[in-house]
C-alpha cells in the first residue's frame, strides 16, 4: 500500500457514507453526518441531510457497474462536478499534506475531498479494489486492502456469518 494516511482515511469514510445511506436511507440524521465527517470541523447545523444524500448517491453510482472503464468515466464526471482544488497545509504537527478546498457548502468540501481520495486510490490501486460485500442482505461497499485482491466481504463479521452458514449447510 502506497496510499497516504489521508487517502486511506477519506476512502474509508467515503464508503461509510455510501453505506450509511444504504442502511438508513431517509432515517440518516445530522448527528450521524456530523459524526462521520467530524474531521472537517462542521457543526450539526451546517450539514444538510439531503445534500449528503446526493453525495452518497454520486459516490455509489461510480461503483454500481463493475467495469473499470465505467468507473473511471463516472469518477471523471465527479472530478468535474466537485472540482477539488489542492492546497498544501500543515497543522497539528503533521507533515505537510494536501487538503482539497472549496468555498461551497460542507457537502462540496467533503465531496471534493472524498472524490479526490477515491481518484487517488483508483489510480494507485485500480478501480477493481472497490467491491460490494458478497454476504446476503449486506452488499456494503468496501475498499479491498488485501494483498492479493481477494476480499469478498465488507467485514470480518460478514465473512464469518457466511462461512458459518456454509459450514452448517454441509452438516
Ligand atoms: Zn489535514
Ligand atoms: Zn457485509
Which domains occur in the chain, in start order?
5-170 (1.10.3300.10)
pLDDT given at position 87? 92
Per the listing, cell 450521524 goes with 32
pLDDT given at position 21? 97
pLDDT given at position 49? 97
**87 CA to centre of ligand 2 in angstroms:** 35
Tally of CB atoms within 10 A around 116:
23
**102 CA to centre of ligand 1 in angstroms:** 14
**125 CA to centre of ligand 1 in angstroms:** 22
pLDDT given at position 2? 67
What pTM does this model have? 0.91
Per-residue pLDDT in tens (0 to 9) along the chain, 171 residues: 468 888 999 999 999 999 999 999 999 999 999 999 998 999 999 999 999 999 999 999 999 999 999 999 999 999 999 999 999 999 888 888 888 877 889 999 999 999 999 999 999 999 999 999 999 989 899 999 888 889 999 999 999 999 898 888 887
**161 CA to centre of ligand 2 in angstroms:** 9
**104 CA to centre of ligand 2 in angstroms:** 34
Amino acid at each position: 500500500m502506497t496510499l497516504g494516511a489521508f487517502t486511506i482515511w477519506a476512502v474509508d469514510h467515503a464508503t461509510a457514507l455510501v453505506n450509511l445511506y444504504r442502511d438508513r436511507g431517509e432515517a440518516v440524521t445530522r448527528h450521524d453526518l456530523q459524526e462521520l465527517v467530524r474531521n472537517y470541523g462542521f457543526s450539526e447545523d451546517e450539514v444538510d441531510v439531503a445534500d449528503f444524500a446526493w453525495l452518497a448517491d454520486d459516490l455509489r453510482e461510480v461503483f454500481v457497474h463493475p467495469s473499470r472503464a465505467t468507473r473511471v468515466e463516472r469518477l471523471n464526471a465527479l472530478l468535474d462536478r466537485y472540482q477539488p482544488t489542492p492546497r498544501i497545509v500543515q497543522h497539528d504537527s503533521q507533515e505537510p499534506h494536501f487538503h482539497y478546498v472549496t468555498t461551497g457548502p460542507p457537502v462540496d468540501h467533503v465531496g471534493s475531498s472524498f472524490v479526490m481520495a477515491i481518484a487517488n486510490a483508483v489510480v494507485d490501486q485500480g478501480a477493481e479494489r472497490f467491491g460490494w460485500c458478497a454476504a446476503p442482505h449486506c452488499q456494503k461497499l468496501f475498499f479491498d486492502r488485501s494483498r492479493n485482491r481477494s476480499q469478498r466481504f465488507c467485514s470480518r463479521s460478514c465473512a464469518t456469518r457466511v462461512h458459518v452458514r456454509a459450514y452448517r449447510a454441509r452438516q
